[in-house]
Structure 1
Amino acid sequence: MQGRETLDYEIARMFYSSGLPFHFARNPHYKKAFAFACNNFISGYKLPGYNKLRTTLLENERRHVDKLLEPIRNSWSQKGVTIVSDGWSDPQRRPLINFMAVTESGPMAAGLIIESEFPSIYWTPCVVHTLNLALKNICAAKNTERNSTVYEECSWITKIAEDVMLIMNFIMCHSMRLLIFHSFNSLQLISIAPTRFASTIVMLKRFRELKKGLQEMVISDKWNSYKDDDVEKAKLVREKLLDVSWWDKVDYILSFTSPIYDVLRKMDTDASTLHVVYEMWDSMIENVRKVIYKYERKTESEVSTFYEVVHSILVDQWTKSSKPLHCLAHSLNPRYYSHEWLSEDASRVRPHQDVEITRERMKCFRKYFVDVDVRRRVNVEFASFSDGREGFDDIDSLGDRGRIDAKSWWLTHGAHAPLLQQVALKLLGQPCSSSCSERNWSTYSFIHSLKRNKMTPERNWSTYSFIHSLKRNKMTPERAKDLVFIHSNLRLISRSSPQYHEGETKTWDIAGDAFEFLDEGGCGILEVANLSLDEPELEAIFFNDDGGQEGGASH
């Protein structure tokens, strides 16, 4: 028993003395290393030293990770590949662009430069970013001459968000008020980084969850008897939190933005979504309309000025981001030809009967199939597929359209249209957001910030604020790039393993390797990328010392 305790304490001292985050204890490679050492007697073994870690082992691991990625690269010719990118700039405002290759097998970091001369490549904007811009214009409308109508209709939302920030700052900036807050609430207030997707909505959602505790707080004797700070502001906070109409507005904001937020969450993943985004956007707008009309108690024939403004924002963003590729992917989704889907709404039509979708699909066909004879064959194949004839008319083919996923359908029934099947299998495996690329930036900047590593701008370009500065580790740019490659891809590979979704190493990389708090203390900052909208269950949990999950503060 004494030997076990001694080892435990030595490991703990390693954490304490080096400033390692406690979350590192969930790292599967940390666990594997000690498990291997305990189960295998290796005579004369010496731990790898400073030089070996940053030279020989680093180079060998780069080659090892390259081999692990080989199956993904080999699938590109069959499944297709999406190159996602995201921009960043260093302290001297020099631009950096992060490229990643994504298929249905998952993303992988790629150092590819995309040239405009490749005619078969389609550029599509990140749908998550597009939705975030729409939410930003609705929830934080700017008071400009060109935006006057939007500001007039939406400024009340900005006022509610400002009220929430005022209340949060008042509580956070007064230690006694913060202590009172904690006595009535188990969850933390969170301040959302402005670059975070749907920042205002995420903040309001958390604030709404705290409603009961906040109201109990301001009517308590503790709150009313404390007079050592701004009494007038404390009175204003109390009035806001007890104002029924104010909370009604908070609920209304969360209600009509819920369809937008839900789509944003579904798109903010590495999953294949290119073939569903067109229909999801249409349904989203209709669901927003229903909520607004219900709240305003308007009939279908009446006009809602507020909805007209919200609708124009959403349509404008879709118009800017919609590309022919979205329409082609929509056209190749067999579900949209099924009786099940069509019967859900009388206004729905099959994709080949929609003028816009047909026009955009033909643009793609002309781009992908330059040869007229080949393109004519593709058109014939599409006609057979869309009309359910000549190989697509058997009972299983028609019945499976609305019952199995699109890619499985094409693998099972698509052999009768080989050219179209090839295109479908590639498109149906593509994402429509750059979320994985944005999470990769968090590898570079979130883990070890410039402040922590004292990285100079000159060194920042080669390491992207990653792990340890060149000065500290004497790393060449080439080694730094290898380290970024290994770090990013080991995490991405890990996310595809069963162990990532269960057991002690479940979602081991989600909390990142570090987190910071506001200077005033007590209010966690929900940062970009590492905690993504595809992990909503982690918005209100933390991990206890034994690796279990408890309700509590958000990361």
Structure 2
Amino acid sequence: MGWNKEVHDAARKQICKFWYFCNIPFIAARSPYWQGMVDSITICGAGFKAPTDAKLSGPLLLQMVEDMKVELEDHRQSWSQKGCTIMTDGWTDRRNRTLLNFLVSCGGSTMFLKSIDASSHVKNATYLCEAIEEVIQEVGEENVVQVVTDNAASYVAAGKLLMERHPKFFWSPCAAHCLDLMLEDIGKLEWVKSIVERAKNISKFIYNHALVLSIMRQYTGQKELARPGITRFASNFLTLKSLIKSKAALRRMFVGEEWTSSSYATTTAGIDVINCIFDEPSFWTPCGETM
């Protein structure tokens, strides 16, 4: 047993050396393929030669592509048996290209079908309808049960055009996008907008100053605050929820010696944050009401 423990500890250290040297995110250990890889190496036993970078980027990569094609073909075969949903999502990449992603969902699993560059086109209802129509024909009209898009006006109009062409299936707006739009409308209420802005100011102040952020982490047990996102309105409400969870820790922080002795404690921005943190009726109570 002692010998086995030593061998296992040595193996773990070798894994750690590889992991840390390559700066692999720790969450990668949750991959469903991680333990399978380790088991396969163990079965091979001593003397197993790991693949080189040339093999990983060459023949092995090509083999995996072929294997994936076979797996996706099995997925395609289920479309005619169970019916499928075509999902599309538009986004802008770092080169400011407008891309349309198309995915097919069937039997509880989803596969990426393709992505098209729509930068040179006006993304009106007619163009979107034709783009989705092309995918419908590729998937097989007889296999399609529904088409799901976001709830933008052009997509809504495109969905109506598609249902006129294909009365056997229906168009549905994305539930997540609908909820996001609902939260956007709620966020336009003056009292909600005011609370969200004050919450954003607290978060920005803390994260814009390294010392203040360090002090906060001490009091929250290294837990972070949810920070506002750029596009998703839900993130505003996640920020409020995060602040409520950290309310006691933040109050202890702003009366602690680390804060009161810092230069930030006497700045205008710092005083504004303190006033907000200890404002029960005008800040914390409305915060709770938004939840």
TM-score, scaled relative to structure 1: 0.40
Cα deviation, residue 3, structure 1: 4.4
Counterpart in the other structure of 1:476: none
Q: Contact conserved, 1:81 with 1:101, CA < 8 A, in 2?
A: yes
2:175 maps to 127
Amino acid at match of 2:209: H
Q: What residue is the counterpart of 1:46 in the other structure?
A: 49
Question: Partner of 1:28: helix, strand, or coil?
Answer: coil
1:479-528: CA deviations, max 9, x gaps? Answer: xxxxxxxxxxxxxxxxxxxxxxxxxxxxxxxxxxxxxxxxxxxxxxxxxx
Give the alignment's Cα RMSD to 1 decimal: 2.7
Contact 2:254 2:274 in 1 (8 A): yes
Counterpart in the other structure of 1:61 = 64
For the residues of structure 2 that align with 1:176 and 1:94, how far apart are their CA atoms? 39
Deviation at 1:5, TM superposition (A): 4.2
* 2:219 partner amino acid: F
SS in 2 for 1:96: strand
Q: Which has the higher contact order (CA 8 A, sep 6+)?
A: 1
The answer (yes or no) to whether the contact 1:157–1:253 under 8 Å persists in 2 is: yes
Identity %: 28
Q: Secondary structure of the residue that 1:191 maps to in structure 2? A: coil
- How many Å apart are 1:205 and its aligned residue? 0.9
Q: SS at 2:205's partner residue?
A: helix
The change in CA–CA distance for 1:215 and 1:229 in structure 2 (over 3 A counts) is closer
CA deviation after TM superposition for structure 1 residue 107, in Å: 0.8
Displacement after TM superposition at 1:181 (Å): 2.1
**1:169-197 residue CA offsets vs partner (Å, 9 max, x unmatched):** 22223344333323332332121322346
2:273 is the alignment partner of 1:237: yes
Aligned to 1:106: 109
In the TM superposition, residue 228 of structure 1 has moved relative to its aligned partner by 5.2
1:93–1:222 Cα change, 3 Å: closer
Instruction: List per-residue Cα deviations over 1:412-459 (Å, max 9, x = no partner).
Output: xxxxxxxxxxxxxxxxxxxxxxxxxxxxxxxxxxxxxxxxxxxxxxxx
**In the alignment, does 2:229 pair up with 1:193?**
yes
Q: Residue type matched to 1:188 in 2?
A: E
Query: Following superposition of structure 1 onto structure 2, how do residues 199-210 of structure 1 map, counting pairs within 5 Å?
Result: 199-210=235-246
Shift of 1:87: 1.4
The answer for the alignment partner of 2:184 in structure 1 is: 136
SS of corresponding position for 2:224? coil
**TM superposition shift of 1:243:** 1.3
Gap regions ≥5 residues in structure 1: 142-153, 255-555
| Structure 1 residue 230, shift from structure 2 partner | 4.2
Give the TM-score normalised by the residue count of structure 2: 0.71
Structure 1 stretch displaced more, 27-36 or 242-251: 27-36
Picking from 72, 88, 106, the partner of 2:91 is 88
Which residue of the partner structure matches residue 251 of structure 1?
288
Q: How far 1:168 moved relative to its partner?
A: 1.7
How many residue pairs get aligned? The number is 240
Give the AA of the match of 1:106.
Answer: S
Q: 1:70 deviation in Å? A: 4.3
Unaligned runs of 5+ in 2: 116-130, 142-164
Q: CA deviation at 1:206?
A: 0.8
Contact 1:129–1:197 (CA under 8 A) maintained in structure 2? no
Matches within 5 A, 1:359-508: none
Over 3 Å counting, the alpha-carbon distance change for 1:115 and 1:184 in structure 2 is same
1:19 maps to what in 2? 23
C-alpha deviation, 1:210, in angstroms: 1.0
Match of 2:81 among 67, 78, 83: 78
